[in-house]
Amino acid sequence: MNYNILKIDIADKIAVVTIDRPEALNALNSEFFKEMDDIIANISADKDVRVMIITGMGKAFVAGADIAEMIDMTPEQGTSFSKLGQNVFRSLEKMEIPVIAAINGFALGGGLELAMGCDFRIASSKAKFGQPEVNLGMIPGYAGTQRLSRLVGLADALYMLTTGEMIGAQDALRIGLVQKVVEPEQLMDEIKKIAGTIASKGPTAVRKVKYVTRKGILSTFDEGCDLESEYFGSQFKAEGEVGMRAFLEKRKPDW
């Protein structure tokens, strides 16, 4: 498949996916979702890739779903467009490898929902965050109502969802919406450094720790603990022997 909106660059076991539609502040249209779906499938099949990064070109990460595409939708088409985005962002969570959002600028509406579908978020100090759907007489449709409250708690989520207010990077850090804030010119270097750290760890361990953590948060505590014990045990033969032996022999493991 040829990509018009997304650019992909794979190096050093890290895939960087850039949304490249700066003239519309990277607004998400149907074509974006087709391309992203295809990229998720391709990267998932490439066992050499250990981390994926998603970022935006220009002054926005993503300024939301494409309002020009949505304006003529019927209610039924609106529901389908919502489901489409929910499914694609859920696929990011279901990817075995960690997915990091590199938030270079505006992350609004569907853009913040995309960022929240990633495993964690690193932001430029100039980034702005918001769920401004109420300004348009709409509500979020890509699971923003569900993920925001789970990530930052009910009151901060409802503050953002009902006021439609944009918050800056430091406030996003304070409420736990992003995990780190860096100067704009250092954003990609810093994220590649973090991705490189992840890529240097036991690759099966990283995949399993994501799976067990994500599965656990949707299960009961006891179910999550059972899954953890099972996967802990299975890691001995998968990679644990190599990693623990390397530690005792004071050398780096060769995974």
* Binding interface with ligand HXC (CB under 6 A): 24-25, 27, 63-68, 81-82, 85, 106, 108-110, 132-133, 135-136, 138, 140-142
- Per DSSP, helices labelled H in the chain are 30-45, 67-70, 75-94, 110-117, 144-152, 154-163, 169-174, 187-199, 203-217, 221-235, 241-248
The answer to whether residues 62 and 28 touch, using CB atoms and an 8 Å cutoff, is yes
Q: Which is nearer to ligand HXC, 82 or 235 (CB)?
A: 82
Strands 120-124 and 99-103, by their bridges, are parallel
As measured in angstroms, the least distance from the Cβ of 101 to ligand HXC is 15
As measured in angstroms, the least distance from the Cβ of 105 to ligand HXC is 9
* Sign, Cα dihedral of 9, 15, 16, 17: positive
Distance CA 92, CA 43 (A): 11
Closest CA to 63 of 107, 23, 29, 30: 107
Residue 113 bears catalytic tag: yes
Selected catalytic residue, list 133, 185, 228, 249: 133
Q: Which is nearer to ligand HXC, 111 or 243 (CB)?
A: 111
As measured in angstroms, the least distance from the Cβ of 149 to ligand HXC is 16
Distance CA 66, CA 78 (A): 12
Distance CA 47, CA 239 (A): 16
Q: Which is nearer to ligand HXC, 81 or 231 (CB)?
A: 81
Residue 133 bears catalytic tag: yes
Selected catalytic residue, list 93, 113, 165, 190: 113
Q: Which is nearer to ligand HXC, 82 or 163 (CB)?
A: 82
- Residues noted as catalytic: 113, 133
